[in-house]
């Protein structure tokens, strides 16, 4: 490859990406000894639930409402999608509790916490807009209650929650794309900064009470 191509934007981007996340960091084959607790499993459980949600949601979108409302197999995938959402929030909240109590934003990991919090906040309207897909009186009721909530928050002029097509489109496309993008950023940041060390390790190494937290490798 000539010297000139090294100045191209793609080469610069590649160097920056590899510098930030070399392959052994992007796909590690070992983990710190302190990551030996069941609480660390809930992140991947949340991810697995999200994968099932996306997969079952794609099948539901491909086949359409007449399929999932009427046929047995459609009803099954509808139920898989619903229960995957229930498990997604269950595991995500337990993951959130664990990360909060271990102060996982320490050591330069503030963006990891922020992306996690944002993905939680975006997942909530994504789940709530899914109710309109029931296409029954219950979903209309939920829409009217949500419209009242948006009006009370002062943003009712921007979102018409009674617009079924719009809310269904938010649920099927816009919000899942946003969630997946934020989760990818969240995971890449975890890979980059590493899992936060426990308080005891920081106290042992620095001889002081934990403050800012250790960065990876300290």
Partner 1 sequence: MAAIFDLNHHAAYLHWHFIDVSVSNVLVIAVMLLVFAVAVLAPFPHGRSRGSS
- Decide whether 28 or 212 has the Cβ nearer to partner 1: 28
Q: Which stretch binds partner 1 (CB under 8 A): 3-11, 37-45, 54-62, 160-168?
A: 37-45
Q: Which of 65, 98, 108, 185 touches partner 1 by CB under 8 A? A: 98
d(CA 93, CA 15): 36
Interaction between residue 83 and partner 1 (CB under 8 A): no
Interaction between residue 36 and partner 1 (CB under 8 A): yes
In the complex, the smallest distance separating the C-beta of residue 21 from partner 1, rounded to whole angstroms, is 19
Which among 63, 84, 36 has a CA at the least distance from the CA of 197? 36
Interaction between residue 32 and partner 1 (CB under 8 A): yes
d(CA 167, CA 174): 10
Query: CB of 217 within 8 A of CB of 130?
Result: no
In the complex, the smallest distance separating the C-beta of residue 116 from partner 1, rounded to whole angstroms, is 16
In the complex, the smallest distance separating the C-beta of residue 76 from partner 1, rounded to whole angstroms, is 11
Residues 42-81 that bind partner 1 (CB under 8 A): 42
Question: Helices 175-193 and 41-63 sit at what angle, rounded to 10 degrees?
Answer: 160
Interaction between residue 27 and partner 1 (CB under 8 A): no
- Total interface residues for partner 1 by CB under 8 A: 16
Chain-centroid distance of CA 169 in Å reads 19
- Decide whether 30 or 62 has the Cβ nearer to partner 1: 30
Structure-block tokens of residue 164 = 């079924």
Sign of CA dihedral 74, 181, 23, 96: negative
Q: 90: buried, middle or exposed (CB in 10 Å: 19+, 13-18, 0-12)?
A: middle
Residues at the interface with partner 1 (CB under 8 A): 29-33, 36-39, 41-42, 90, 93-94, 97-98
């Amino acid at each position: 490859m000539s010297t000139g191509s090294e100045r191209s934007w793609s080469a610069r981007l590649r160097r920056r990406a590899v510098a930030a996340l070399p392959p052994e960091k992007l796909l590690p084959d070992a983990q710190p000894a302190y990551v030996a607790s069941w609480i660390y499993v809930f992140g991947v459980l949340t991810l697995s639930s999200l994968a099932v949600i996306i997969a079952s949601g794609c099948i539901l979108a491909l086949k359409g409402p007449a399929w999932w409302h009427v046929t047995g197999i459609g009803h099954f995938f509808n139920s898989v999608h619903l229960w995957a959402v229930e498990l997604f929030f269950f595991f995500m909240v337990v993951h959130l509790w664990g990360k909060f109590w271990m102060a996982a934003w320490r050591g330069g990991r503030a963006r990891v916490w922020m992306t996690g919090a944002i993905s939680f906040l975006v997942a909530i309207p994504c789940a709530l807009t899914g109710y309109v897909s029931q296409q029954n009186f219950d979903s209309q009721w939920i829409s009217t209650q949500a419209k009242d909530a948006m009006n009370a928050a002062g943003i009712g002029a921007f979102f018409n929650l009674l617009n079924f097509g719009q809310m269904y489109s938010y649920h099927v496309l816009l919000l899942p794309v946003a969630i997946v993008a934020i989760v990818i950023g969240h995971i890449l940041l975890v890979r980059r900064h590493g899992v936060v060390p426990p308080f005891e390790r920081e106290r042992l190494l620095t001889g002081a009470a934990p403050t800012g937290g250790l960065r990876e490798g300290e």
